[in-house]
Structure 1
Amino acid sequence: MELVQFFGADRVVTFMLLFARLSGLIVFFPFYSHNQIPLTVKTALVFVLCVIFYPVATVSTNSINFLVVEILGEVLLGLAAGLLLNILFAALSLAGEQISMIMGFSMATVLDPQSGTNSPIIANIINYLALLTFLAFDGHHILLLFYAHSLKFIPLGDYMLGENVIMYITNQVVNLFIFGFTLSFPILALSLLSDLIFGMLMKTMPQFNLLVVGYPIKITIAFCVLIAVLAGIMQIFSKLALGILNDMPSLFFN
């Protein structure tokens, strides 16, 4: 009888809403949403987190008592928060695609396990390094803390997408192209400079074979510059990612 009371309707609804909220962590956030992680492992992780967070979970007294809408609201919390970090990773992919095109590697594509699509190899390398940097400053643990605090400030079934979140996401989308171009600018600038030098050589020495000599030199220069600025790119990425993680509580908990 006590077991039947323990699994009462109110507890089941609380667990379902908690499961929906924590599913947003697995579906929308970097690292947790990686396609290489089996779905069974992701589901088991969500279940374990639900068991851990269940004692501190509370259902809103102002809920509309329509379970489907409340579940969609919980998923929307993960979607809005995860989109902020995914925009930053998308900017790195944009920078990698521009660098690959300048280096002549635009056709050298490989399957990206994260998105499931083909992307240039330079973009893949930068994204993997960014993911390692994200793990290095404990970004995955900060996300767990964010969800733990969300249960304190936002009762289950009570989340509504605010105007400040929409404006923040809009600004991030606008900055995506600026950030991507800024990261790839050193290689773009030196590539244009090398093209100018090769053009002058072609005018002064018509026998200069640009296809045989020029492209290997251009690729070598691009690789050297990429190695030199890669640490700086990761430092800028970590600074922006930490800024977003620090802004998330004020965006969603007010």
Structure 2
Amino acid sequence: MSGLPLDIDQVLAAMQLYYWPFLRVSALMLVAPVFSAANITVRVRVLLAVLIAALVAPLMPAAPVANPLSGEGLLLAAREVAIGAAMGFVMQMVFAAVVVAGETLAMSMGLGFAMSIDPQNGVQVPVVSQLNVILSTLLFLAIDGHLLLLAALGDSLVLLPPGQPGFDPGTFANLAGLGGGIFASALVLALPALTAVLMTNIALGVITRAAPQLNIFAVGFPVTILVGFVFLLLGMPAFLSAMRRFLEAGIDQALMVF
């Protein structure tokens, strides 16, 4: 009993319909926040990438037919990985700006020595940065940022379909400019509490000059920590509002970067 004839060209064409979107989706999940969390296993990430690639593959105008192991296929694969990683990197910069804002405030409050493990990146960050990351992650999920990011990825398959040679050389310049703007805006998140802590330190300096016998280390640290947390609490509505704007802007820039 003979088997059905198997045309290798038809098999490759059918596989490539999902192969190129899978590369872009998997690169996004390797870099983007929440998806790239250390507590999400590689197996779960790969299965999720396969599922999403199967859903977004019909959005492509046409799948390129090229041998994935050929020189042309490797260049096309590198392009897809670069596009997915760049889109995820944009959102990762937003979360990195939150960490920088927390580190700046923690150092001013005297909590630079209080470190904890960031579950998102697996590195040690100050507790204020950890609080900011947790709030930002919850807000990112609350506004369906993960779904909007995947929707932007699906739109990129229409705007930048696989098979085109290369991409705009100004992409990296756009990423650098976007990163500079995001990190400059990170100071806005910490500015209210940072200003209060700075004024407190100036007041403690004046008190120390007026009363040198005062133990500034015994008084200064509790006061600056208390003032920092009080103004963090008072500025929490403004922080969440600004963070929401940053996340929405990051999702929009994930496509505009190209």
TM-score, length-normalised on structure 2? Answer: 0.87
**Which has the higher mean CA deviation after the structures are superposed, 200-209 or 212-221?**
200-209
The amino acid across from 2:124 in the alignment is N
Aligned residues, how many?
252
Match of 1:223 among 229, 234, 239: 229
Aligned position for 2:217: 211
Is the alpha carbon distance of 1:200 and 1:46 closer, same or farther for their aligned partners in structure 2, counting shifts above 3 Å?
same
Aligned position for 2:22: 19
* Deviation at residue 65 of structure 1 after TM alignment: 6.7
Say which SS state the counterpart of residue 119 (structure 1) adopts: strand
Aligned position for 1:41: 44
Q: Which runs of 5+ in 1 are unaligned?
A: none
1:121 aligns with 2:94: no
Distance 1:101 1:12 in 2: 52
Aligned position for 1:112: 118
**Which has the higher mean CA deviation after the structures are superposed, 99-108 or 162-171?**
162-171
Q: How does 1:164-183 map to 2 (within 5 A)?
A: 164-183=170-189
Distance 1:193 1:223 in 2: 14
Q: How does 1:91-110 map to 2 (within 5 A)?
A: 91-110=97-116
Match of 1:150 among 130, 153, 156: 156
1:13-54 per-position Cα deviation (integer Å, ceiling 9, x unaligned): 333222211112211211111111111111111111222233
* Deviation at residue 159 of structure 1 after TM alignment: 6.2
* Deviation at residue 211 of structure 1 after TM alignment: 1.9
Is the alpha carbon distance of 1:227 and 1:207 closer, same or farther for their aligned partners in structure 2, counting shifts above 3 Å?
same
1:245 aligns with 2:251: yes
1:220-253 per-position Cα deviation (integer Å, ceiling 9, x unaligned): 011001111122122112112212322444443x
1:45-71 per-position Cα deviation (integer Å, ceiling 9, x unaligned): 111122223344432479997211111
Is the alpha carbon distance of 1:192 and 1:50 closer, same or farther for their aligned partners in structure 2, counting shifts above 3 Å?
closer
Say which SS state the counterpart of residue 116 (structure 2) adopts: strand
Match of 1:28 among 27, 31, 44: 31
The amino acid across from 1:148 in the alignment is G
Would you identify which runs of 4 or more consecutive aligned residues in structure 1 move more than 6 Å?
Answer: 61-65
Distance 1:186 1:219 in 2: 14
Aligned position for 2:146: 140
Match of 1:75 among 73, 76, 81: 81
The RMSD of aligned alpha carbons is 2.5
Distance 1:74 1:157 in 2: 9
**Which has the higher mean CA deviation after the structures are superposed, 55-64 or 104-113?**
55-64
Aligned position for 1:10: 13
CA contact (8 A) 1:35 1:114 kept: yes
CA contact (8 A) 1:62 1:158 kept: no
Is the alpha carbon distance of 1:8 and 1:65 closer, same or farther for their aligned partners in structure 2, counting shifts above 3 Å?
farther
Aligned residues with identical type, % of pairs: 24
The amino acid across from 2:41 in the alignment is P
Is the alpha carbon distance of 1:55 and 1:179 closer, same or farther for their aligned partners in structure 2, counting shifts above 3 Å?
closer
The amino acid across from 1:41 in the alignment is V
Say which SS state the counterpart of residue 30 (structure 1) adopts: coil
Distance 1:3 1:196 in 2: 83
